[in-house]
């Protein structure tokens, strides 16, 4: 029997998701034995026209990482959708928009102005910015269009499954590949990670008090947190309560709070909004009745950059999606 | 008849690094362009974020070298919050960075750039990959490569939380100390890594240096550019990856400038072209003169060979021996041959492993005091480190509350952007004569920019490595009249 065909593809990403595949180490050989990798731009030859020549659905599964931010990326993932039985959104950027999705607080013009005109090392008196078409004496040079808005993969094409994380950990990658090979996949649209919150699996969870209540917010640089204690108990914002587990508690193990790269748990629609409500339910609750409006405002002001913090990985996938530009 | 040649890396949607070559009436190369068709805009969307999140945000610039961004960002925060990390924290950071430099240089030499030499520049393209390397050096050696890369990356995972995008740096130190047990493991990894680096240099000597054909390729004129060179040096002008002053030497090897990270704007400016999303930095005091080399052009180079050229030597004993040997054989400093980057990379691999071992053996690394809490009002900070692919600048400004108001980044590969364009044009000029395009062009052009190990993830997100290429030769009406393909 012919081996199932698998593709890896990348859009607006950093290359970390490809490193995650290389970090399978010896296991990568098992994957290579079981499937026929028909393309993987980082490692193998690949031409768009080869994909175009394939039959619809000929590729068993395509793993696509990175968000969508240029016309080329959009065109390519649409082609892959047509040719693939399954599309797996691989990693935070593809799943949620990821950190590059924070660019949705701005648009093309403001980004170009900053990068090409106003950064302090810039010497650009005539205000040149990159153009889609440039005429030079010898001919014409082209660049792809840079969109105003970063989109997730499922805002561009129909997605069957999601592999979360920045980057997804090796065990979840192997589990997903095995599930595909053995046809043991859950219902369409599922996130291929545990249905638990990070707090449920956090090594500090046992010591977390029954009822959390914090008097003030601390920023991570302001205190040295006790490595045994829950970050929230110490007043440091941690997105553990609203983030899906499965990462291996990597940041917690380095004594740093969660920033939500795995995205929300199943029942949550908007990770950021849920995060804000989780903090609101524990912040200053003990003295709530005695507090004036001004006290409350002071307390809330301790949360610096709530939009960037609670939506660090998920802005494009959230209900907000982007900032409305004037 | 005027012709246009497009070399598209078919990878990544015919984008993410595109070469356009224009021929004149006689069929000789008029001009070549290396275009970078991608941008994300970290400088803009970092505005409004809390400064302490920057070491977690900026590594996403590049998943291949996230550790370098994490280090530059941590140092920028120390400066911004006016806080000095405890000595132990500084050593832990440098330990992580040394492990990173070693694993990344290993990856490049054996998986990406090295195959050109180990397997041979004339070998069929299909063999010029890691499998071809294993065939040539033996399966045991191949396993050694995979094993040491895994163990070096494990140090980053343990201290940084995650190897892809570490999280441990905060202003004033790191979030986690080193345990006794882990330290023992790091010492063993360090010892084995030093041996591994020596093995790599030995392999380079046996396979490359003893082969005249290979040496001729390295010293050939086609890959030569006389430029300025930049790198971080310690107080003795020895190469340092984590700390020190930035030193620039001129094309004759004389010190041209030596400055602190805080002074970088006095020395570096950036140029914009409308046909690429990448920017082109140059030395401000020399000026932008276009894509040309020589003393009158502000174009400078960074990364392994540039670091060695810009220094007076290596700070560890074994690496120093290899440093001297390299310059002896290549005829003294500075070396302008782009392909010598591969050799310099191995000298640096040995230094990184020796430094890793020194730091792991240092008792102080066990000191649990790894953070100083900042007390001053934050304002502005600049952090500079050496990434595998060159000098990396992070510059942040904040309001009194530590919220980012301005960011400037000069990312390693970007420093080399102009010289990569020049190297490609030079290779093209040497290989395309009177309209005849040699099949070798593909290999040679690829080798020209692979020597820089251009981490286009930093600049464009396209990974270096085996890059299938296709050249379309078009007439003036853009009809394809010939296609040359390298599979």
Together in a domain, B436 and B348: no
Contacts of A34 (CB under 8 A, 6+ apart): A3, A4, A177, A181
Nearest Cβ partner for A14 among B61, B168, B176: B61
Contact residues, chain A, for B376 at CB < 8 Å? none
Of the pLDDT bands very low, low, confident and very high (cuts 50, 70, 90), residue B472 is low
Nearest to B55 by CA among B367, B305, B404: B404
- Across the interface, whether the CB atoms of A14 and B13 are under 8 A apart is answered no
Q: How far apart are CA A84 and CA A192, in angstroms?
A: 18
A231-255 per-position pLDDT tens digit: 999 999 999 999 999 999 999 999 9
- Across the interface, whether the CB atoms of A46 and B11 are under 8 A apart is answered yes
Nearest Cβ partner for A221 among B13, B52, B146: B52
A115-129 per-position pLDDT tens digit: 999 999 999 999 999
Q: What is the mean pLDDT of residues A210-229?
A: 91
Together in a domain, B23 and B60: no
Domain containing B261 equals: 42-373+409-415
Q: How is residue A278 written in tokens?
A: 């989780």
Together in a domain, B9 and B105: no
Q: What is the mean pLDDT of residues A276-298?
A: 87
A138-191 per-position pLDDT tens digit: 888 888 888 999 999 999 999 999 999 999 999 999 999 999 999 999 999 999
Nearest Cβ partner for A41 among B12, B52, B160: B12
Together in a domain, B219 and B108: yes
What is the domain-level CATH number for residue B352?
Answer: 1.10.645.10
Q: Measure in Å the smallest separation between the Cα of A117 and chain B Cα atoms.
A: 9
- Across the interface, whether the CB atoms of B279 and A17 are under 8 A apart is answered no
Of the pLDDT bands very low, low, confident and very high (cuts 50, 70, 90), residue B31 is confident
Among B364, B397, B415, give the residue marking a domain's end.
B415
Total tally of structural domains belonging to chain B: 2
Q: How many CA atoms lie within 13 A of A8 on its CB side?
A: 24
Contact residues, chain B, for A129 at CB < 8 Å? 272, 274
Q: Which residue of B has its CA nearest to A64?
A: B12
Number of Cβ pairs < 8 A linking chain A and chain B: 248
Nearest Cβ partner for B64 among A10, A15, A141: A15
Together in a domain, B205 and B187: yes
- Across the interface, whether the CB atoms of A15 and B461 are under 8 A apart is answered yes
Nearest to A212 by CA among A222, A221, A223, A199: A199
Together in a domain, B135 and B214: yes
Nearest to A88 by CA among A1, A171, A163: A163
* Percentage above 70 pLDDT, chain B: 83
- Residue in the block written with tokens 């950021």: A272
Contacts of A284 (CB under 8 A, 6+ apart): A214, A215, A291, A295, A296, A299
Nearest Cβ partner for A25 among B59, B62, B146: B146
ipTM: 0.95
Q: What is the mean pLDDT of residues B456-471?
A: 37
- Across the interface, whether the CB atoms of B274 and A72 are under 8 A apart is answered no
pLDDT at B458: 40
- Across the interface, whether the CB atoms of A123 and B288 are under 8 A apart is answered yes
Contact residues, chain A, for B32 at CB < 8 Å? none
Q: Measure in Å the smallest separation between the Cα of A43 and chain B Cα atoms.
A: 6
Together in a domain, B450 and B319: no
Q: Which residue of A has its CA nearest to B468?
A: A45
Q: What is the mean pLDDT of residues B76-89?
A: 98
Nearest Cβ partner for A10 among B12, B30, B288: B12
Q: Which residue of A has its CA nearest to B265?
A: A121
- Across the interface, whether the CB atoms of A14 and B457 are under 8 A apart is answered yes
B260-269 per-position pLDDT tens digit: 999 999 999 9
Contact residues, chain B, for A79 at CB < 8 Å? none
User: pTM score, two decimals?
Assistant: 0.93
Together in a domain, B26 and B168: no
Q: Is residue B397 part of a domain?
A: no
- Across the interface, whether the CB atoms of B39 and A120 are under 8 A apart is answered no
pLDDT at B215 over 70: yes
Q: Is residue B383 part of a domain?
A: no
Contact residues, chain B, for A75 at CB < 8 Å? 13
Q: How far apart are CA B103 and CA B348, in angstroms?
A: 11
Contact residues, chain B, for A115 at CB < 8 Å? 39, 41, 43-44, 279
Together in a domain, B326 and B454: no
Q: Is residue B438 part of a domain?
A: yes
Q: Is residue B58 part of a domain?
A: yes
- Across the interface, whether the CB atoms of B44 and A136 are under 8 A apart is answered no
Nearest Cβ partner for B274 among A123, A134, A144: A134
Q: Measure in Å the smallest separation between the Cα of A72 and chain B Cα atoms.
A: 7
pLDDT at B7 over 90: no
Nearest to A89 by CA among A142, A163, A146: A163
According to DSSP, residue A277 is labeled: H
pLDDT at B207: 84
Nearest Cβ partner for B468 among A45, A254, A256: A45
- Across the interface, whether the CB atoms of B31 and A136 are under 8 A apart is answered yes
Helix (H, G, I), strand (E, B) or coil at A173: helix
Q: What is the mean pLDDT of residues B428-449?
A: 73
Nearest to B386 by CA among B85, B67, B171, B58: B67
Among B381, B399, B415, give the residue marking a domain's end.
B415
pLDDT at B69: 96
pLDDT at A1: 62
Q: Is residue B402 part of a domain?
A: no
Q: How is residue A134 written in tokens?
A: 């440039």
More confident site: A12 or B176:
B176
B294-328 per-position pLDDT tens digit: 999 999 999 999 999 999 999 999 999 999 999 99
Together in a domain, B145 and B273: yes
For chain B, what is the mean pLDDT? 86
Together in a domain, B345 and B437: no
pLDDT at B60: 93
- Across the interface, whether the CB atoms of A221 and B171 are under 8 A apart is answered yes
Q: Measure in Å the smallest separation between the Cα of A183 and chain B Cα atoms.
A: 30
Of the pLDDT bands very low, low, confident and very high (cuts 50, 70, 90), residue B482 is low
- Across the interface, whether the CB atoms of A16 and B66 are under 8 A apart is answered yes
Contact residues, chain B, for A13 at CB < 8 Å? 63, 461
- Residue B4 near residue B474, CB atoms below 8 Å: yes
Q: Measure in Å the smallest separation between the Cα of A48 and chain B Cα atoms.
A: 7
B341-367 per-position pLDDT tens digit: 989 999 999 999 999 999 999 999 999
Contact residues, chain B, for A172 at CB < 8 Å? none
pLDDT at B5 over 90: no
B228-248 per-position pLDDT tens digit: 999 999 999 999 999 999 999
Together in a domain, B35 and B59: no
- Residue B76 near residue B403, CB atoms below 8 Å: no
> Which of B2-6, B83-87, B186-190 has the lowest average pLDDT?
B2-6
How is chain A split into domains, by residue range? 5-99+151-181, 106-147, 198-310
- Residue B333 near residue B311, CB atoms below 8 Å: no
pLDDT at B361: 98
Q: What is the mean pLDDT of residues B384-412?
A: 96
Q: How far apart are the first and last CA of chain B?
A: 29
Q: Which residue of B has its CA nearest to A143?
A: B37
Determine whether domain A5-99+151-181 maps to CATH 3.40.50.700: yes
B130-156 per-position pLDDT tens digit: 666 767 777 777 788 889 999 999 999
Q: What is the mean pLDDT of residues B213-242?
A: 92
- Across the interface, whether the CB atoms of A45 and B466 are under 8 A apart is answered yes
Q: Is residue B398 part of a domain?
A: no
Q: How is residue B218 written in tokens?
A: 């390295």
């Amino acid at each position: 029997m012919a081996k199932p065909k698998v593709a890896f593809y990348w859009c607006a990403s950093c290359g970390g998701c490809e490193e995650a595949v290389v970090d399978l180490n010896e296991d990568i050989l098992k994957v290579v034995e079981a499937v026929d990798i028909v393309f993987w731009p980082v490692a193998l030859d690949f031409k768009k026209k080869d994909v175009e020549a394939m039959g619809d659905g000929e590729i068993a599964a395509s793993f696509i990482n990175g968000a969508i931010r240029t016309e080329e990326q959009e065109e390519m993932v649409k082609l892959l959708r047509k040719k693939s039985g399954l599309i797996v959104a691989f990693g935070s950027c593809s799943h949620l928009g990821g950190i590059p999705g924070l660019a949705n607080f701005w648009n093309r013009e403001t980004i170009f102005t900053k990068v090409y005109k106003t950064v302090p090392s810039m010497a650009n008196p005539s205000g040149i910015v990159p153009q889609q078409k440039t005429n030079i004496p010898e001919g014409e040079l082209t660049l792809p269009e840079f969109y105003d808005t970063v989109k997730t993969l499922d805002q561009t094409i129909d997605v069957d499954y999601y592999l979360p994380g920045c980057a997804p950990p090796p065990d979840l990658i192997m589990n997903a590949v095995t599930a595909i090979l053995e046809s043991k996949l859950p219902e369409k649209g599922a996130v291929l990670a545990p249905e638990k919150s990070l707090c449920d699996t956090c090594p500090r969870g046992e010591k977390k008090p029954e009822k959390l209540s914090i008097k003030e917010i601390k920023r991570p640089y302001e205190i040295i947190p006790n490595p045994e204690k829950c970050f929230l108990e110490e007043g440091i914002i941690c997105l553990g309560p609203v983030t899906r587990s499965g990462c291996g508690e990597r940041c917690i193990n380095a004594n740093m709070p969660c920033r939500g790269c795995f995205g929300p748990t199943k029942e949550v629609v908007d990770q950021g909004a849920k995060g804000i409500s989780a903090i609101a339910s524990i912040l200053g609750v003990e003295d709530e009745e005695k507090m004036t409006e001004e006290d409350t405002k002071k307390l809330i002001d301790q949360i610096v950059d709530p939009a960037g913090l609670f939506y660090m990985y998920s802005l494009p996938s959230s209900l907000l999606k982007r900032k409305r530009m004037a | 008849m005027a012709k246009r040649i497009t070399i598209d890396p078919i990878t990544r949607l015919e984008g993410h690094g595109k070469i356009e070559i224009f021929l004149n009436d006689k069929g000789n190369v008029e001009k070549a362009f290396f275009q970078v068709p991608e941008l994300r805009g970290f400088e803009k969307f970092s505005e409004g974020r809390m400064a302490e999140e920057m070491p977690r945000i900026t590594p996403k610039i590049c998943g291949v070298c996230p550790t370098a961004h994490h280090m530059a960002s941590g140092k920028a925060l120390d400066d911004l919050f006016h806080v000095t990390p405890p000595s132990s924290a500084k050593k832990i950071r440098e330990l992580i960075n040394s492990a990173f430099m070693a694993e990344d240089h290993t990856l490049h030499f054996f998986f990406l750039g090295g195959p050109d030499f180990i397997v041979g520049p004339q070998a069929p393209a299909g063999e010029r990959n890691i499998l071809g390397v294993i065939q040539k050096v033996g399966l045991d050696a191949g396993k050694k490569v995979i094993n040491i890369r895994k163990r070096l990356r494990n140090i980053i995972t343990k201290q940084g939380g995650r190897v892809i995008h570490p999280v441990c740096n905060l202003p004033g130190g790191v979030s986690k100390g080193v345990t006794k047990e882990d330290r023992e493991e790091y010492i063993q990894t360090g010892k084995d890594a030093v041996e591994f680096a020596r093995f790599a240099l030995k392999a380079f000597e046996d396979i490359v240096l003893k082969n005249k054909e290979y040496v001729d390729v390295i010293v050939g004129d086609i890959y030569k550019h006389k430029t300025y060179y930049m790198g971080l040096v310690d107080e003795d002008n020895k190469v340092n990856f984590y700390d020190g002053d930035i030193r620039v030497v001129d094309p004759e090897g004389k010190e041209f400038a030596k400055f602190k990270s805080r002074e970088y704007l006095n020395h570096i400016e950036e140029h914009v072209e409308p046909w690429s999303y990448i920017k082109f930095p140059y030395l401000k005091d020399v000026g932008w003169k276009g894509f040309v080399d020589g003393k009158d052009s502000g174009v400078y180079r960074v990364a392994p060979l540039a670091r060695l050229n810009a220094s007076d030597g290596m700070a560890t004993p074994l690496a120093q021996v290899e440093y001297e040997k390299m310059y002896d054989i290549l005829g003294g400093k500075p070396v302008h041959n782009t392909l010598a980057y591969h050799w310099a990379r191995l000298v640096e691999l040995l230094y990184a492993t020796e430094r890793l071992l020194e730091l792991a053996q240092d008792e102080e690394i066990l000191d649990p005091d790894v953070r100083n809490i900042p007390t001053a009002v934050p304002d502005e900070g600049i952090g500079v480190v050496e990434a595998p692919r060159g000098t990396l600048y992070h510059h942040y400004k904040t309001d009194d509350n530590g919220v980012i108001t301005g960011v400037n980044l000069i990312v390693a590969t970007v420093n080399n952007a102009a010289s990569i364009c020049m190297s490609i044009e030079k290779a093209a000029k040497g290989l395309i004569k009177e309209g005849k395009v040699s099949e070798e062009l593909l290999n040679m052009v690829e080798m020209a920019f692979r020597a820089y190990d251009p981490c286009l993830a930093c600049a464009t997100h396209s990974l270096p490595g085996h890059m299938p290429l296709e050249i379309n030769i078009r007439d003036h009406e853009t009809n394809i009249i010939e296609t040359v393909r390298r599979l």
